[in-house]
Structure 1
Amino acid sequence: MKYAVVGAGAMGLRYGLLLQEEAGLDVDFVEPTQASLDRIHEQGDQVYRSVDHEDRTLVPVKAFSPEEYDGNPDVWIFFMKQMQLADALKRLAPKFAKGQTALGAMNGMGHIEKLQKYFDDEHIIGGTAMIATILNDYGDVDFIGKTSSVYANKTEQPSEVMDKVQADFQAAGINPSYSENFMGTLLTKVAFNAVENSIATMFQARMGHLIQYKDFVSGIAAPLVAEVYAGTKAAGIELIETEQEMLEQVDYVSRVGNPLHFPSMYQDFVKGRETEVDYINGYLADLAENNGVPAPNQRLITNLVHLAEAMREFNPPVNQLIQPKKQNA
């Protein structure tokens, strides 16, 4: 199948390059951010790809603005920030065609409702990606660690397109699995991010640093996760992991899986950008409260991340993503 990846950021580049380079598929990149698109063109229509901070190599890509794109993909893969998606969809609307599928594996929640304005439920796939990736700069991506991902059709029924996506993603090394629990699949990742992303951002810490606090899981992760499971249960949604499995995942990913990784929310935070906390902790707080369950911890974390954003004016964060230059002796 042919793919168009909307958003040439960290995850968009990782998916697109894996599909192009590992699976040998036809991939276009549609980049709504002009500065990013300009950089890719300046580099000779190439992007830098590193793997675990090593082997930085230029890889040719086909990159377009939404207005100039005239391709006809079978599947659109959306990897925009939640707050940027509506504008990107509006710009791309004239390019969407009947029979095309939209796949969204973005952080947080809110994108599915936006996709439904342009695609019917039979042509929407939701996904979650446990994939650590760093965007060093526009057109410069670093693949960190191994990949793992889960996908579900909005209809929660099997489909030929899903079968093909699973095969293509497997060939690309994205390591996909299939679920027939749409909301449970998406919210399982949101629950994880509500702990790791938000806390690491506030304290400007790598995921492995958090677990060095002996009560991180029991004293911080557990109350946040408990609110998620109470809220989703009240909403009639069953996550694809149990509450205990979620806590074990937080511990494992922090301690073993990706201890040196800075989550994407931190990457936005240190670059002075708006974070997606409203679409993660804020969404979970709304979900619980709308179903009669209090979520004071999720609400507090949401406000604390916004406070940290405001405090950048007075206490600028140090961008630890930038490797220090070696000084001459």
Structure 2
Amino acid sequence: MKYGVIGAGAMGYRYGILLQENAEVDVDFIDTWEPNVEKVKSQGGVYVSRDHENRHLVPINIYYPEEYQGHPDVWIVFKKQMQLSEELKRDSKSGLFHSDQYVFSAMNGMGHFEKLAEYFDETHIITGTAMIATVLSGPGDVDFMGPKNGEAMHMAPYKNYPVDDVNKQVFTDLKKATLGPEMADDWLGMCMTKVIFNAVVNTLCTMFEIKMGELIQYDGVPDMAAQLFNESFDACERADIPLIGTRQSNVQLVVDNCHKLKYHYPSMYQDFSKGRNTEIDYINGYIAKIGRENDYVCRTHEFVVHEVHLAEKMRQFKK
């Protein structure tokens, strides 16, 4: 099986490099960020670290969409939600997509699978979530956070189509890559379970500009998490979305991961700290949207969305 990674950022690098090194499959990387592409080409690969240690160069093949001539069996997509539509248009115009190809994505937030369905048959879409922390330190430089073999993820066919042979092979390759895949029973419940986790950890760390390990130093975090999870579960129950675990088990998941990934700044904070807009509308905002559509107001989530947008707006006044 040959893979193509669209989006050579933190998570794109992690999936592609682990597949290349551990599953020993062919992987090509497609990216549109010129400093990143040119840096990788000039240095002959990407520098990879784990928890800031053992930095070493890993040779990879990287291309702009317009220069790529390959034909992967499966595309792996990791782009920011706000950038995805334009990326897919550019890739499609460059002739990257074919009817026999499958696509997998474990992006944060919600809304990307509908965009992917504009270019791929629904039966060829594999949904995913990743409990994996990664930092793009700079162009051509990535840091895998967390212990080796500690990666964890879920996957499922889009709209719960049957698990076919390609799904099974992707699962096998991801397992060989040590990405820790588990097959979920319900794609939407799986995805929303990750969204409600990010709506706590990513958002709180961003609002206070802190690492996950610093967040958990406050004794009130479990109560804050419970308040946000209660709204999330209430909204999803009204929408008939079966979340994984219970309210309390998800609170414990926050506590456990904050200890496990104590040195990690979540991706939302990484965007915020670099002056980019965050994906708050696709995380807390998406939960609030589900609530409103089902006659339930997620007041805390709606307030948090305003707070993060306010913080984004106030950056213009900081020197």
Query: Which interval holds the TM-score relative to the shorter structure?
Result: over 0.9
Letter in structure 2 aligned against 1:212: Q
Among candidates 244, 249, 260, match of residue 257 of structure 1 = 260
How much does 1:250 deviate? Answer: 0.8
Match of 1:102, SS? Answer: strand
Letter in structure 2 aligned against 1:117: E
C-alpha contact (below 8 Å) 2:29/2:61 kept by paired residues: yes
Letter in structure 2 aligned against 1:269: F
Please give the alpha-carbon distance, in whole angstroms, between the structure 2 residues aligned to 1:198 and 1:88.
25
**Number of the residue aligned with 2:29:** 29
Match of 2:311, SS? Answer: helix
Please give the alpha-carbon distance, in whole angstroms, between the structure 1 residues aligned to 2:140 and 2:290.
36
Q: Does 1:301 align with 2:300?
A: no
Q: Does 1:276 align with 2:313?
A: no
RMSD of aligned alpha carbons: 1.0
Please give the alpha-carbon distance, in whole angstroms, between the structure 2 residues aligned to 1:241 and 1:135.
31
Match of 1:95, SS? Answer: coil
Q: Does 1:243 align with 2:247?
A: yes
Match of 1:189, SS? Answer: helix
C-alpha contact (below 8 Å) 1:197/1:265 kept by paired residues: yes
**Number of the residue aligned with 1:129:** 130
Match of 1:236, SS? Answer: coil
**Number of the residue aligned with 2:187:** 182
C-alpha contact (below 8 Å) 2:271/2:278 kept by paired residues: yes
**Number of the residue aligned with 2:5:** 5
Among candidates 165, 168, 172, match of residue 173 of structure 2 = 168
**Number of the residue aligned with 2:116:** 115
Please give the alpha-carbon distance, in whole angstroms, between the structure 2 residues aligned to 1:287 and 1:302.
14
Letter in structure 2 aligned against 1:314: F
Please give the alpha-carbon distance, in whole angstroms, between the structure 2 residues aligned to 1:174 and 1:315.
40
After superposition, residues 148-159 of structure 1 pair within 5 angstroms as 148-156=152-160, 157-159=162-164
Please give the alpha-carbon distance, in whole angstroms, between the structure 1 residues aligned to 2:169 and 2:90.
28
Match of 2:46, SS? Answer: strand
How much does 1:39 deviate? Answer: 1.8
Please give the alpha-carbon distance, in whole angstroms, between the structure 1 residues aligned to 2:213 and 2:167.
35
C-alpha contact (below 8 Å) 1:181/1:240 kept by paired residues: no
C-alpha contact (below 8 Å) 1:47/1:140 kept by paired residues: yes
Please give the alpha-carbon distance, in whole angstroms, between the structure 1 residues aligned to 2:285 and 2:42.
38
Q: Does 1:101 align with 2:94?
A: no
C-alpha contact (below 8 Å) 1:30/1:63 kept by paired residues: yes
Can you list the C-alpha shifts for 1:277-315, whole angstroms capped at 9, x where unaligned? Answer: 111011111111111111111111111111111222223
Please give the alpha-carbon distance, in whole angstroms, between the structure 1 residues aligned to 2:124 and 2:62.
24
How much does 1:259 deviate? Answer: 1.5
Gaps of 5+ in 2: none
Letter in structure 1 aligned against 2:18: L
Can you list the C-alpha shifts for 1:193-227, whole angstroms capped at 9, x where unaligned? Answer: 00000110010111111111111111x11111111
Letter in structure 2 aligned against 1:159: D
C-alpha contact (below 8 Å) 1:66/1:88 kept by paired residues: no
**Number of the residue aligned with 2:70:** 71
Gaps of 5+ in 1: 317-329
When the two structures are superposed, what TM-score results if normalisation uses the length of structure 2? 0.96
**Number of the residue aligned with 2:237:** 233
Can you list the C-alpha shifts for 1:5-25, whole angstroms capped at 9, x where unaligned? Answer: 000100000000000111111
**Number of the residue aligned with 2:39:** 39
C-alpha contact (below 8 Å) 1:80/1:106 kept by paired residues: yes
Q: Percent identity?
A: 48
C-alpha contact (below 8 Å) 2:159/2:188 kept by paired residues: no
How much does 1:180 deviate? Answer: 2.3
C-alpha contact (below 8 Å) 1:39/1:139 kept by paired residues: yes
Letter in structure 1 aligned against 2:181: P
Match of 2:229, SS? Answer: helix
C-alpha contact (below 8 Å) 1:231/1:287 kept by paired residues: yes
Please give the alpha-carbon distance, in whole angstroms, between the structure 2 residues aligned to 1:81 and 1:134.
14
**Number of the residue aligned with 1:289:** 292
C-alpha contact (below 8 Å) 1:9/1:135 kept by paired residues: yes
Please give the alpha-carbon distance, in whole angstroms, between the structure 2 residues aligned to 1:277 and 1:194.
8
C-alpha contact (below 8 Å) 2:99/2:121 kept by paired residues: no
**Number of the residue aligned with 2:91:** 92
Please give the alpha-carbon distance, in whole angstroms, between the structure 2 residues aligned to 1:185 and 1:268.
24
C-alpha contact (below 8 Å) 1:53/1:142 kept by paired residues: yes
How much does 1:68 deviate? Answer: 1.2
Dislocated runs of 4+, deviation >3 Å: none
How much does 1:186 deviate? Answer: 0.5
Letter in structure 2 aligned against 1:310: K
